[in-house]
Chains A and B, each alone.
Chain A
Amino acid sequence: MKQLLDLAAVFGYLSLLTVGGGMAAFPELKSLTVDTYHWVTFPELMHYYSLGQLAPGPNMMMVASIGAQVAGLPGAAVVLVAFILPTGLLTFGIGRLWNRLANWPWRPSIQRGLGSVSVGLVLAGGIVLARGALTNTLTVALAVGVFALLMLTKINPAIPIVASGLVGIALYFI
């Protein structure tokens, strides 16, 4: 029971940090689930994150895996509700309020101010992930390759992501 309450508190808190996308919460996700609570190891977290890239829908649904690993099905359910419900209610409320705030002079200020901070948070998340994932020349080459391919073509991101995994398997056998 204590564990479920901890899961609810941690993922409820994490959900509030996901400004600009789930990646913004990644540094805190790592420090809480790996360093503070020891629910998963950093490689496990990265592997769940990778699986999340392959699953449909929002790729932060990978939080369900952490909940399931810690406390089975109840753990997954608690984590999902804690991660989605608080910000969901906030979005619902503000969405209805937003139109009434159309002429509020601070509205564009908030939009622009939070815009740059959210890019910074996604950047920080990318740096934390890169520290764990880019461990040698080959992994760096994969990251650069995926980046170049997605910038230069209109290919579905799923294709180079799955291809990276297959390259990883191929190199394992070499």
Chain B
Amino acid sequence: MNAHAAAPKAAKLPVAPPPTLWRLFLGFLIMGATSLGGGVIAYLRTGLVSHFRWLDDETFVELMAISQSLPGLNATNMSILSGDRLRGWPGAFLAALGMCLPGALLMTAAAFAVGIGGDDPISKAFLHAIAAGAVGLITVVLVQLGAKVLGEIADYAFVVLTAVLVAFLHVPVLIALVGVGALAIWWHRPRKGTAPKPVDPHFKDHP
């Protein structure tokens, strides 16, 4: 989430030449297999910018802004966009595959394991408590995401409106997304002379 907040500004690392497709796949496979705990974006920044040096920080933040404005999982979107920058469409495909494969295999195996031992009260107690802990984690993500994208009071109103429609009035998510989304985009519509400034200070209008 706050991947660029932790980035040292002075130390600008030189970017390495784009990797071969095999090295690219392997790199994303390693990041996909080691990024435990949900903060995949932080692992991606460490891997892509600091370790492999395939991207510089500016590009990483730019790609992250696109990832977060589009549907799709952030980590998958980031893999597709950075894979495309590095090696075109085969790179995008292999990066997303490497990122998703370890977790997908593990969760498929988990379904069969739950089928065998799913009624065990101890594992139920374990998983129920993790769901409770995850509520705390989501709240942290909300605070960080909110600090980055919410500016004026109207933005907070759009947040509350969306959440109330979906969680309490059971409006289908797609309708809330399109309805409130259109309203919010119209609220921030381009006006003559005053271009709306994104809240993210790292946003660059002319990359």
Q: Are B103 and A91 in contact (CB under 8 A)?
A: no
Q: Are B143 and A151 in contact (CB under 8 A)?
A: yes
Q: Which residues of B contact A10 (CB under 8 A)?
A: none
Helix, strand, loop or mixed for chain B's interface?
helix
Interface size, A (range): 35 or more
Q: Are A133 and B100 in contact (CB under 8 A)?
A: no
User: Are A157 and B35 also in contact (CB < 8 A) when A51-B110, A94-B70 are?
Assistant: no
Q: Which residues of B contact A105 (CB under 8 A)?
A: 190, 195
- CA of A116 to CA of B139, assembled, Å: 15
Give the one of B89, B106, B131, B207 with max A CB within 10 A: B131
User: Are A55 and B103 also in contact (CB < 8 A) when A17-B173, A102-B207, A112-B199 are?
Assistant: yes
Q: Are A126 and B139 in contact (CB under 8 A)?
A: yes
In the assembled complex, the CB of B65 is this many whole angstroms from the nearest CB of chain A, namely 7
The 8 A CB mask of B54-75 against A (1 = contact, 0 = none) is: 0000000001011111111111
What residue in chain B is nearest A148 (Cβ atoms)?
A: B136
- CA of A111 to CA of B203, assembled, Å: 11
Q: Are B173 and A28 in contact (CB under 8 A)?
A: yes
In the assembled complex, the CB of B39 is this many whole angstroms from the nearest CB of chain A, namely 6
The 8 A CB mask of B5-34 against A (1 = contact, 0 = none) is: 000000000000000000000000000111
In the assembled complex, the CB of A82 is this many whole angstroms from the nearest CB of chain B, namely 13
Q: Is B185 an interface residue (CB 8 A)?
A: yes
Q: Are A145 and B136 in contact (CB under 8 A)?
A: yes
Q: Are A17 and B174 in contact (CB under 8 A)?
A: yes
Q: Which residues of B contact A52 (CB under 8 A)?
A: 103, 107
Give the one of A65, A103, A171 with max B CB within 10 A: A65
Q: Are B35 and A134 in contact (CB under 8 A)?
A: no
Q: Which residues of A contact B201 (CB under 8 A)?
A: none
User: Are A56 and B134 also in contact (CB < 8 A) when A98-B66, A119-B142, A124-B162 are?
Assistant: no
Q: Which of B138-152 contact A (CB under 8 A)?
A: 138-143, 145-146, 148-151
10 A/B residue pairs, CB under 8 Å, sorted by A: A51-B107, A55-B106, A57-B102, A108-B203, A112-B184, A119-B149, A120-B161, A121-B163, A139-B129, A147-B140
Smallest CB-CB A-B distances: 6 pairs: A168-B129, A120-B162, A164-B133, A158-B37, A146-B136, A57-B103
Chain A residues in the interface with B (C-beta under 8 A):
13, 15-25, 27-28, 31, 43-44, 46-69, 73, 76, 80, 84, 87-88, 90-92, 94-96, 98-99, 102-103, 105-106, 108-130, 132-135, 139-140, 142-148, 150-151, 156-169, 171-172
